[in-house]
């Protein structure tokens, strides 16, 4: 998968792309991430990408010109595959695991991280992006949301995690009936007087699976009753 990220703070991505699974995914050539600075598409000598809102009000608004030109240039770099265009903003479709799985099917994603108080509405009119939110709260920009989406999608790409099974039975996944994942334990067998549940050392796979199903239901009922009533 190729992922283009358009931002005015490209250095925010250095750490996240250079560590852990995202780093490995790139090294394995399963993922190619290209970060583009939208400031390079500003037309004045101050490289201005924001301005005051028409009608007044607080904050600054991202200008349409640099964003629209940047998206067009990035897409033109590989015209055969313009990719799914995502604009990160609080008013978008709320990102969740089924959405991550859907995006992981794409060969290319182009993510625009807006900043400031908001963005000129004509960006949406001209580019018709999919609007994506990572939750009902407001961040200072779309960079962290773009990282969240990238991380959640990249780990689902075939060959990125060593063991594909791990994404089948995890929280919110069909193999786990859409519920929270069951509790996990590792060595030591006893920690501060608390023993690992006996069934997990029984070697009886059917019993272990039944215990995990039951625990997933109990955990979900306690923490996220909405997941049970969703009928997964």
Binding residue (CB under 6 A) for ligand ADE from 11, 55, 76, 137: 137
Q: How far is the CB of 62 from ligand ADE (least distance, A)?
A: 11
> Under a CB-based contact definition with an 8 Å cutoff, are residues 17 and 148 in contact?
no
Q: Which residue from 156, 59, 77 is spatially nearest to 116, judged by alpha carbons?
A: 59
**Could you write out the DSSP letters of every residue in 31-43?**
-EEEEEEGGGG--
- Closest C-alpha among 38, 24, 58 to residue 155: 24
Residue selected from 16, 86, 134, 227 as contacting ligand ADE according to rule CB under 6 A? 134
Taking CB under 6 A as the criterion, the residue among 24, 139, 218, 228 binding ligand ADE is 139
135 makes contact with ligand ADE (CB under 6 A): yes
Instruction: State yes or no: residue 145 binds ligand ADE (CB under 6 A).
Output: yes
Between residue 77 and residue 96, which ones bind ligand ADE under the rule CB under 6 A? Answer: 88-90
133 is an interface residue for ligand ADE by CB under 6 A:
yes
CB of 89 to ligand ADE, least distance (A): 5
Write down the least CB distance from residue 59 to ligand ADE, Å: 12
Closest separation in Å from C-beta 16 to ligand ADE: 16
Count Cβ atoms within 10 A of the Cβ of residue 137 and give its class: 0-12 exposed, 13-18 middle, 19 or more buried: exposed
Contact 61, 33 (CB under 8 A): no
Between residues 83 and 118, which has the closer beta carbon with respect to ligand ADE?
118
DSSP state, residue 4 = E
Identify the three-state secondary structure at position 110.
Answer: strand
Give min distance, CB of 154 to ligand ADE, in A: 18
Check if the beta carbon of residue 160 is closer than 8 Å to that of residue 154: yes
Which range, of 100-108, 127-135, 175-183, 192-200, touches ligand ADE by CB under 6 A?
A: 127-135
Beta bridge mates, 84: 109
Nearer to ligand ADE, 129 or 145 (CB): 145
Cα dihedral 168→173→177→180 (10° resolution): 110
Beta bridge pairs of residue 194 = 191
What is the size of the binding site for ligand ADE (CB under 6 A)? 12
d(CA 220, CA 23): 32
- Of the pair 89, 104, the CB lying nearest ligand ADE is at 89
Q: Is 110 in the site for ligand ADE (CB under 6 A)?
A: no
Would you tell me which residues interact with ligand ADE (CB under 6 A)? 88-90, 133-135, 137-139, 141-142, 145
């Amino acid at each position: 998968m190729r992922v283009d990220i358009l931002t005015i703070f490209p250095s925010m991505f250095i750490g996240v792309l250079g560590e852990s699974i995202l780093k490995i995914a790139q090294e394995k050539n399963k993922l190619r991430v290209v970060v583009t600075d939208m400031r390079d598409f500003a037309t004045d000598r101050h490289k201005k990408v924001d301005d005051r809102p028409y009608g007044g009000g607080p904050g600054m608004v991202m200008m349409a010109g640099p964003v629209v030109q940047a998206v067009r240039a990035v897409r033109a770099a590989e015209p055969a595959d313009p990719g799914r265009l995502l604009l990160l903003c609080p008013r978008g479709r709320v990102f969740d695991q089924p959405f991550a799985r859907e995006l992981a099917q794409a060969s290319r994603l182009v993510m625009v991280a807006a900043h400031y108080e908001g963005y000129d509405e004509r960006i949406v009119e001209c580019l018709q992006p999919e609007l994506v939110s990572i939750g009902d709260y407001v961040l200072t920009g779309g960079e962290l949301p773009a990282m969240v989406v990238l991380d959640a999608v990249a780990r689902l790409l075939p060959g990125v995690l060593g063991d594909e099974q791990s994404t089948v039975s995890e929280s919110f996944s069909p193999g786990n009936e859409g519920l929270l994942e069951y509790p996990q334990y590792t060595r030591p067998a006893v920690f501060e007087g608390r023993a690992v549940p006996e069934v997990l050392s029984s070697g009886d796979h059917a019993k272990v699976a039944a215990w995990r199903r039951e625990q997933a239901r109990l955990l979900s009922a306690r923490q996220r009753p909405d997941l049970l009533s969703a009928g997964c």
